[in-house]
Amino acid sequence: MFVDQVKVDVKAGNGGNGMVAFRREKFVPNGGPAGGDGGRGGSIILQADEGLRTLMDFRYTRKFKADNGGNGMIKQMTGRSAQDKVINVPLGTVVTDADTGKLIGDITEKDQRLVVAKGGRGGRGNIHFASPKNPAPEIAENGEPGGELTIRMELKVLADVGLVGFPSVGKSTLLSVVTSAKPKIGAYHFTTLVPNLGMVRLDDGRDFVMADLPGLIEGAANGVGLGIQFLRHIERTRVILHLVDMSGIEENDPFDDYVKINHELTSYDPDLLKRPQIVVATKMDMPDAADNLAKFKVKLAQDNTFETVPAVYPISAITQQGLTALLAQTADLLDKTPQFPVKGVDDVEHRDYTTDANPDFKVENPEEGLYVLSGEKLERLFKMTDLNHEESLMRFARQLRGMGVDDALRAAGAKNDDTIQILDYAFQFMD
Ligand X SMILES: Nc1nc2c(ncn2[C@@H]2O[C@H](COP(=O)(O)OP(=O)(O)OP(=O)(O)O)[C@@H](O)[C@H]2O)c(=O)[nH]1
Give the shortest CB-171-to-ligand X separation in angstroms. Answer: 4
251 φψ region: left (φ > 0), alpha (ψ -120 to 50), beta (else): left
Which one-letter DSSP state was computed for residue 188? S
- Among residue numbers 108 through 167, which ones bind ligand X (CB under 6 A)? 167
Residue 318 as a binder of ligand X (CB under 6 A): the answer is: yes
Residue 286 interface partner, choices ligand X, Mg ion, none, CB cut-off 5-8 Å depending on type: ligand X
Write the DSSP assignment of 339-358 as a string of letters: PPPPTTTTT-----TTT---
51 is in an annotated binding site: no
Quick one: 95 or 278, whose CB is closer to ligand X? 278
- By the rule CB under 6 A, 316 interacts with ligand X: yes
- Residue 318's binding partner, choosing from Mg ion, ligand X, none, with beta-carbon cut-off 5 to 8 A by kind? ligand X
317 is annotated as contributing to ligand binding: yes
**With respect to ligand X, which residue has the nearer C-beta, 246 or 384?**
246
Q: What are the residue ranges of helices labelled H in 305-389?
A: 323-336, 376-383
Per rule CB under 6 A, count of chain residues that contact ligand X:
23
Residue 224 as a binder of ligand X (CB under 6 A): the answer is no
Among 36, 38, 162, 215, binds ligand X (CB under 6 A): 215
Count how many Cα atoms sit within 13 Å of the Cα of residue 166 in the half-sphere of its side chain.
Answer: 22
Q: Which of 41, 69, 143, 170 binds ligand X (CB under 6 A)?
A: 170
Amino acid (1-letter code) at residue 199: M
State which residue, 118 or 283, has the beta carbon closest to ligand X.
283
Q: Please tell me the distance from the alpha carbon of residue 392 to that of residue 227, in angstroms, as a whole number.
A: 59
Answer yes or no whether residue 260 interacts with ligand X by CB under 6 A: no
Q: Is the dihedral of CA 119, 7, 227, 306 positive or negative?
A: positive
* Residue choice 173, 237, 277, 330 for contact with ligand X (CB under 6 A): 173
Answer for which of 74, 185, 328, 370 binds ligand X (CB under 6 A) is: 185
Grouping H, G, I as helix, E, B as strand and the rest as coil, residue 225 is coil
Q: How far apart are CA 261 and CA 162, in angstroms?
A: 13
Q: How far is the CB of 223 from ligand X (least distance, A)?
A: 17
Question: Does residue 17 touch Mg ion according to CB under 5 A?
Answer: no
61 is in an annotated binding site: no
- HSE, CB side, 13 Å, CA atoms: give it for residue 396: 24
* Interface with Mg ion in residues 153-172 (CB under 5 A): 171-172
Query: Of 293-322, which residues contact Mg ion (CB under 5 A)?
Result: none
- Is 98 or 177 the residue whose CB approaches ligand X more closely? 177
Rounded CA gap, 154 and 106, in Å? 10
Binding test (CB under 5 A) with Mg ion, winner from 191, 305, 365, 419: 191
Q: Rounded to 5 degrees, what angle do the CA atoms 99, 103, 105 make?
A: 130
Residues 6+ apart with CB under 8 A from 47: 86, 87, 88, 89, 111, 112, 113, 114
The residue (of 142 and 247) whose beta carbon lies closer to Mg ion is 247
Q: Contact positions toward ligand X, by CB under 6 A?
A: 167-173, 185-187, 189-192, 214-215, 282-283, 285-286, 316-318
